[in-house]
């Protein structure tokens, strides 16, 4: 089969023939129909993000596929099923604290790296093998829907964070870093989950205004000015005195002081979930005052990805129309044009703009 291989960091991907993967017990062989290229993929492949990804590797973060073969432990999946392939792979020998790898992308700790050596290759290929529990049926979709559903990897990230802090219908959510790919998806997901108000925070005033137009009066925005006191006041005002939940998705290049202001706009007994990149490229770490956390009963948690059950629940939100995938701006590339796709994604990382590779299409 054909696959795009990252042979060394800092070099272009090479599309070449590689051995066909074979599914064993507990695994599913999938024909990859569409997979999303994230805006920062160029930074990963260039080594800028320093991800623990061992080369050579076929990268790619999940996607939509069709089942070609099943292991003997699958009881409900059938050959021919259209499925979503979740890239978050968990070890099976520790249910409480499993090691985690993002198949074809990244991993956590030594255990995650060891796991990645088995589930090593991702979705920039004509076929891939994934764990049985990572395959979620999608039902019938037409070709146009398939490419839009391939971007499910983006809203699944903030959805995992909002599940972790238990966002409830009627609450107020503040999204710190709302103008990028993941942050704008967080706004859509928060509204889909029933938030009464979502406050989008960022620097790009044009994008913030676009979010307000797209989502209407339940979405409000705060444009950061760099003035700490003014920004904090604006966030508290926009949330009606303090958010119930603050979700941080600021990228690595943003300073910790910007994140700190958003975190401290949460109301007493509020919850904060950290999913951004502060400190990943150096710089100050996030410091929060102990007395403020303790005396205001603040819950602060970190979340990397989400639970396995998030996949089916998010698919249900999209199926019901609560999370609308139809309005996304999708650009398709054939597998042979993978490097063009990576460059396009880097240059088009705005809200609801998706770059999709369709490995079965001709170049």
Give residue for tokens 């999940």.
62
Return the percentage of the chain with pLDDT > 90, whole number.
87
What is the structure's pLDDT at 281? 73
Q: What architecture is domain 166-302?
A: 3-Layer(aba) Sandwich (3.40)
Phi and psi torsions of 325, nearest 5°: -90, -10
329-342 pLDDT per residue, tens = 999 999 999 999 99
Q: What is the mean pLDDT of residues 178-185?
A: 94
228-268 pLDDT per residue, tens = 999 999 999 999 999 999 999 998 888 899 999 999 999 99
CA dist 115 and 97 (Å) reads: 14
Confirm if 341 and 357 have CB atoms less than 8 A apart: yes
Strand partners of residue 221: 200
Mean pLDDT score across all residues of the chain:
94
What is the structure's pLDDT at 289? 95
What is the structure's pLDDT at 363? 44
What is the structure's pLDDT at 330? 95
53-97 pLDDT per residue, tens = 999 999 999 999 999 999 888 999 999 999 999 999 999 999 899
Q: Is 324 helix (H, G, I), strand (E, B) or coil?
A: coil
Give me 188's structure tokens: 């859509």
What is the structure's pLDDT at 344? 98
Q: What is the mean pLDDT of residues 301-317?
A: 94
Residue 362 has pLDDT above 70, yes or no: no
Nearest to 134 by CA among 213, 269, 30, 31: 30
Which residues have a Cβ under 8 Å from the Cβ of 230 and sit 6 or more positions away? none
> pLDDT band at 49, cuts 50/70/90?
confident
Residue 139 has pLDDT above 50, yes or no: yes
Q: What is the mean pLDDT of residues 25-33?
A: 96
- Rg for the chain (alpha carbons), in Å? 20
Strand 266-274 with 243-248, pairing: parallel
The CATH superfamily of 2-155+308-358 is Medium-chain alcohol dehydrogenases, catalytic domain (3.90.180.10)
Handedness of CA 353, 359, 362, 363 (dihedral sign): positive
Q: Which long-range contacts (CB under 8 A, 24 or more apart) does 291-298 make?
A: 292/264, 296/268, 296/269, 296/270, 297/268, 297/269, 298/266, 298/268, 298/269, 298/270, 298/271, 298/272
Q: Where along the chain do its domains lie?
A: 2-155+308-358, 166-302
Residue 299 has pLDDT above 80, yes or no: yes
37-47 pLDDT per residue, tens = 999 999 999 99
Residue 274 has pLDDT above 90, yes or no: yes
Residue 280 has pLDDT above 90, yes or no: no
CA dist 72 and 84 (Å) reads: 20
Query: CA 187, 191, 197 angle in degrees (round to 5)?
Result: 85
Confirm if 7 and 56 have CB atoms less than 8 A apart: yes
88-132 pLDDT per residue, tens = 999 999 989 999 999 999 999 999 999 999 999 999 999 999 999
């Amino acid at each position: 089969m054909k696959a795009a291989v990252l042979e060394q960091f800092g070099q272009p991907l090479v599309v070449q023939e590689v051995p066909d993967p074979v599914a064993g017990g507990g695994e599913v062989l999938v024909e990859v129909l569409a997979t999303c290229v994230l805006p920062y993929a160029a930074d990963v492949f260039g080594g800028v993000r320093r991800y623990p990804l061992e080369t050579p590797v076929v990268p790619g973060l999940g996607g939509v596929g069709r089942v070609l073969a099943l292991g003997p432990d699958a009881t409900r999946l059938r050959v021919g099923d259209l499925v979503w392939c979740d890239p978050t792979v968990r070890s099976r020998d520790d249910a409480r604290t499993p090691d985690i790898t993002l198949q074809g992308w990244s991993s956590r700790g030594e255990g995650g790296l060891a796991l990645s050596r088995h589930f090593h290759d991702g979705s920039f290929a004509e076929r891939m093998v994934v764990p049985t529990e990572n395959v979620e049926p999608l039902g019938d979709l037409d070709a146009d829907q398939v490419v839009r559903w391939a971007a499910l990897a983006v809203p699944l990230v903030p959805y995992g964070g909002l599940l972790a802090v238990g966002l409830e219908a009627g609450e107020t959510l503040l999204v710190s870093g709302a103008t990028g790919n993941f942050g704008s998806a967080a706004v859509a997901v928060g509204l889909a989950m029933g938030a009464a108000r979502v406050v989008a925070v960022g620097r790009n005033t044009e994008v913030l205004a676009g979010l307000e137009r797209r989502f209407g009066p339940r979405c409000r925005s705060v444009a950061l000015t760099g003035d700490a006191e003014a920004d904090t006041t604006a966030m508290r005002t926009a949330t009606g005195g303090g958010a119930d939940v603050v979700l941080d998705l600021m990228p690595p290049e943003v300073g910790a002081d910007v994140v700190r202001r958003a975190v401290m706009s949460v109301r007493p007994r509020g919850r904060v979930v950290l999913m951004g990149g502060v400190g990943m490229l150096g710089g100050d770490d996030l410091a929060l005052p102990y007395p403020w956390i303790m005396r205001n009963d603040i819950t602060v948690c970190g979340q990397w990805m989400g639970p396995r059950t998030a996949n089916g629940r998010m698919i249900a939100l999209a199926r019901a129309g609560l999370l609308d995938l139809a309005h996304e701006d999708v650009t398709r590339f054939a597998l042979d044009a993978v490097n063009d796709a990576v460059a396009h994604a880097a240059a088009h990382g705005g809200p609801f703009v998706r770059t999709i590779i369709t490995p079965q299409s001709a170049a």
